[in-house]
Amino acid sequence: MVKMVSVPPNSQISQHLVNANFFDAFQINLTPCKRTALEIYLEVIAKTPGWISFLMALRNRAAPMFGIKNLGALSNINCAKQPSEYRVGDRVGIFTIHSMTDEEVILKDSDQHLDAKVSVCKMQSDAGNVVTVSTVVHVHNLLGHVYMFFVVPFHKRIVPSVLQQTEYRVH
């Protein structure tokens, strides 16, 4: 079950909360695994539900009319590329890897309107692993605020839906 939580204070993304215009975090319990945070992210976005892909396609068609860039598909990853081959600066779906350890990967996307960072942070728990996906956004201008006004309600449904796609979740 996915639940809304606070951004983990011991995560690297927590350092980006200062002056953030928006942030949230969702958590899911997984069975014990040795997968890295990046491996978990790749597995989950590869199974992006169709309705989310549809919404991203609509967003990308409208975006240029408002001076917002086309991000492509969330699940647009190179399936032939092994997780161990990814490096900081590589593009993964709609994001670029900002920083990466086995326990946490921070992905980002920036433009003139806003900076968005997403963290997948894996922590040990008594029952297995706890994975928290945190989002932090810094808005630069009015268009960024308008964009976030429309995106946030969808975001709050998209992240839990995507997290539910992992096959290793505790039922």
pLDDT one-digit tens code per residue, 139-167: 999 999 999 999 999 999 999 999 988 76
Which tens digit of pLDDT belongs to each residue from 90-108? 999 899 999 999 999 999 9
Comparing CA positions, the residue from 2, 45, 5, 1 lying closest to residue 25 is 5
Mean pLDDT of the chain: 91
Worst-scoring range by mean pLDDT, 35-39, 68-72, 76-80, 125-129? 125-129
> CA 136 to CA 75: how far, in whole Å?
20
How close are the terminal C-alpha atoms of the chain, in Å? 7
Please give the torsion angle defined by the CA atoms of residues 151, 155, 157 and 158, in that order, rounded to the nearest 10 degrees: 120
Read off the tokens for 71: 């991000």
**What is the rounded average pLDDT of the residues 106-111?**
95
Q: Which residues contact 21 (CB under 8 A, 6 or more apart)?
A: 114, 137, 138, 139, 144, 145, 148
Give the model's pLDDT for residue 7.
97
